[in-house]
Structure 1
Amino acid sequence: MADTPESSHKVHDDEDSDSDLKAGGRAGNGRIAVFAILSLLLLAGIITLVLYLVYRPSHPHFTVVSVAIVSLSNSSSPFNTITASVQPTLVIRNPNSRASIRYDRIEMYVMYRNAPVTSPVLLPPLIQDKDTSVAISPVLGGPAVPVSPDVVEGLAVDRSFGVVPLRLIAVGRIRYNPGPFRGRWSSLYVRCNMLVAARTGVSGPVPLLANSDCSVD
């Protein structure tokens, strides 16, 4: 028996309904997949934030606890120079209870009136465990350093009064290792102002006349 127009129209309607159902099913599955991906990303973000808050490291603390003047002299003939050899003792504290710290390529030198008066000294690498302190006493000095006439005259005046403002600078790189993670290397800049009682002709340990906590960037 031949199909009637009504039965042929019904077959087409059934096929269209099946196509619509399949298309709707695919759209629904796509929405579910997108929702699942967004949920996973949100969960990963929350976990990352929690880990960051738990393991977020703090800067190390540097403090100058003593200073010894091995030598400190100025000359204006034939050139304006300063010859200095200084031995500061610094205590470095790692305040982090969940992160160790690694120091590398640390160079340290002394400045007077914004002029370097010692050559940079490269310190050995240092690994500092969690919540610990370590003391270092590098000897910073070397040959005469050329400076301006104002710096030479200023040092002569300050030593006559027995009060010399020095500045200790340390530059290098630092890396935090929080918990099971390993951080990236970042730059380190430490500045310590040291007001010392140093008169002309005096050498050896000298008193610190002010608090010598350091700024750390």
Structure 2
Amino acid sequence: MNHNPQYPQPNPPASYYGQPVYAYPAPPPPPHDQFRRLLAILIRAFIISCAIIGLVVLILWLIYRPQKMKISVPAASLRSFNLSAADSGGNRFLSFDLSANISFRNPNKRVGIYYDWIEAQAFYDGERFGWAGLPGFYQGRKETASAPAEFHGRSAVAIGDRGAEEFQTDNAAGVFPVDLWVFGRVRYKFGSAVTRRYLLRARCDLRLPLAKGGFNPADCDVSDL
């Protein structure tokens, strides 16, 4: 026999449950975390963009395979070349009359070349004595163009006694070594796309007979940056 009578349990007071619990939203991340996240997104986008651009450039290069232009001097004439004696201040002057025909060859089958501006400079013994501007032009695929460069005048040169002795030696031999430099700005055309401007530099080592024939054509060392 069960001697423990069952009594109804009273309801606990409201204070028994304590304060009600609410689900608050998570606080926003600190400002520096947002900045780091944005910076990471920008860096990732930049890397992806560079990769896409690099891939496009590689594909274009594989399709077109651009080559540097070829520059040469097939003909040149040195009609006069005289170095004065040093004056009281030690200055010497070089009188010259030189003409050179500069040839530009585009060896590419699918690439055109814009020569936006071109100039030629003449040097003897490391001293520039002449300058000539050349007209700009567009050169199509597999085309060859030529431009005459004329150098006439009298120029002060910093040639000392040793350089003057070398000049006399060259004069006795009747052949003068002259460096002809070609400078310019060029752009390459791939279909309808045109590149930025590149610096063109070409060095042509000439051996010029004085006032007579026998000039040997010279190929130039070309670089475009």
Query: Given the two structures, how large is their TM-score scaled by the length of structure 1?
Result: 0.71
Unaligned runs of 5+ residues in structure 1 are 1-36
Aligned mates of 2:124, 2:186 — CA distance in 1: 26
Alignment correspondent of 2:22: none
User: What is the CA distance between 1:147 and its match in structure 2?
Assistant: 2.5
Alignment correspondent of 2:213: 206
Pair 43,173 (structure 1): closer, same or farther in 2 beyond 3 Å: closer
Answer yes or no: is 1:134 the counterpart of 2:112: no
User: What is the CA distance between 1:66 and its match in structure 2?
Assistant: 1.2
Of 95, 107, 110, which residue of structure 1 is paired with 2:119? 107
Alignment correspondent of 1:60: 69
User: What is the CA distance between 1:126 and its match in structure 2?
Assistant: 1.7
Aligned mates of 1:81, 1:121 — CA distance in 2: 19
Aligned mates of 1:153, 1:141 — CA distance in 2: 23
Q: Aligned letter for 1:206?
A: G
**Secondary structure, aligned partner of 2:193:** coil
Alignment correspondent of 1:81: 93
Of 176, 184, 191, which residue of structure 2 is paired with 1:172? 184
User: CA RMSD of the aligned region, Å?
Assistant: 2.4
Q: Which structure's CA Rg is the greater one?
A: 2
Aligned mates of 2:96, 2:189 — CA distance in 1: 37
Pair 43,191 (structure 1): closer, same or farther in 2 beyond 3 Å: closer
Query: Given the two structures, how large is their TM-score scaled by the length of structure 2?
Result: 0.68
**Secondary structure, aligned partner of 1:130:** coil
More helix by share: 1
Equivalenced residue count is 172
Of 138, 142, 157, which residue of structure 2 is paired with 1:146? 157
Pair 65,54 (structure 1): closer, same or farther in 2 beyond 3 Å: same
Task: Tell me the alpha carbon deviations over residues 117-175 of structure 1, each in whole angstroms, 9 at most, x when there is no partner.
Answer: 22x22211121111111122210232223231233332222011122111101112111
